[in-house]
Chain A
């Protein structure tokens, strides 16, 4: 796979999360999933998008570690590399 940049991943993650409910303008790297009202079901959907686009598999135990948008972006970028 061609290398993906952190910016590309961040854009895609923000776009996906925004489709789940929170306003895109509220979503930053520092936003926690809790404050965005993103729950475990949303994260499974995010993982499906990520696997489909970047071939990165995020499992349940991986997701538990993620607290912020930045955490998710970093994990995806590191595994896509």
Chain B
């Protein structure tokens, strides 16, 4: 019998604002955080949330993670006092790339002023595990901690691994999520060179006119706890990580396997892990990047995993329509949004979806938010994440009982 893994805290810094509530509320009300073709966390001013010392020792990706973690831990009631033996509390933070801005700045320093002037804070800022290190240090978490890297599936992989860690009793609680801050000239140039970015600067997943993703930045963090431990301490339970499935395409460096077979297998594994069937699924939070290839392959994968008829009846929406693609943070931020959807029973729409693609025929929640249909039991949702490199992850999340 696997230990049940519950969610007791959510935190997010996204282009829709600082704080998890802004993410779901603003997205559901139809607000889009994308401006001039980028999802920037404009409301995030590091010095408002961090000391001078913290801020200057952390790359932006770790700053975002630390602030989101603080919010999640506050909600879980951990800030006054750690409710666990510190060695039983772990920390996993995903990122696609790490401290890109620091790499670029220090590389400039080396070119302009010589190698001897490169900052001793360079490596500790840009190492991809820096977010996990910063959170573990600030909040005194002494269980295992490390970074997780699988491009755009990183955040979801982190949540899956954290779940296994608790189920296997390697930890009683895990502070887990993902963070990304690659909105630099080099970041834009690199993704643009792949022809992955939208030329129009519009994120409209599943729409016929979709022409690439819009890059965004931000962080999402969750507090996961073994259900027995959370209940014993009287914590408010926001939801549950019920299932995790992961596969690889083994197909192409960047393009998804077009039939969606490997991605479908990840979804099937997650449903099986959760002990639920397609009939139980009330909502899908899609990876939905707004690229031609992803949105087609994901639609194929959902039909394959859920059955054609059932897939057409489940509402599918993409958070990326409101904030862009947060890369290594996407899976975590979207898991936060999915939990919020399950708790509020409000499904936010796929913004900008107006012209259906005749090839893509699921219910992509056009127009405006709609109520989540709940049939007596706590509702279940799928959150998908697929990555360059062919990494596929599906999470099955369950809402808290009403």
User: Interface residues, chain A, CB within 8 Å of chain B?
Assistant: 19-21, 37, 41, 44-45, 48, 51-52
Contacts and interface: CB of A to CB of B under 8 A. Distances in A.
B52 interface: yes
Nearest to A52: B117
A11 B124 CA distance: 28
A45 B52 contact: no
Interface residues of B, number: 12
A21 B53 contact: yes
Nearest to B51: A21
A19 B121 CA distance: 14
- 7 nearest CB pairs, A to B: A21-B53, A44-B120, A21-B52, A41-B120, A48-B117, A41-B121, A45-B120
Nearest to A41: B120
Main secondary structure on A side of the interface with B: helix
A45 B121 contact: yes
Nearest to A51: B116
Contacts of A51: 116
Interface in B98-138: 113, 116-117, 119-121, 124
6 contacts: A19-B56, A21-B56, A41-B124, A45-B120, A45-B121, A48-B116
B9 to A, nearest CB: 28
Main secondary structure on B side of the interface with A: helix
Contacts of A37: 53
Contacts of B120: 41, 44-45
Given A48-B116, A48-B119, A52-B117, 6 more contacts: A19-B52, A20-B53, A21-B51, A41-B120, A48-B117, A51-B116
Interface of B: 51-53, 56-57, 113, 116-117, 119-121, 124
A19 B119 CA distance: 14
B116 A20 contact: no
B119 A45 contact: yes
A20 B117 contact: no
Contacts of A41: 57, 120-121, 124
Nearest to B52: A21
Contacts of A45: 119-121
A41 B122 CA distance: 10
Nearest to A47: B120
Nearest to B114: A52
A69 B56 CA distance: 21
Contacts of A44: 120
B291 to A, nearest CB: 41
B56 A20 contact: yes
Contacts of B51: 21
A21 B57 CA distance: 10
Contacts of B116: 48, 51
Contacts of B119: 45, 48
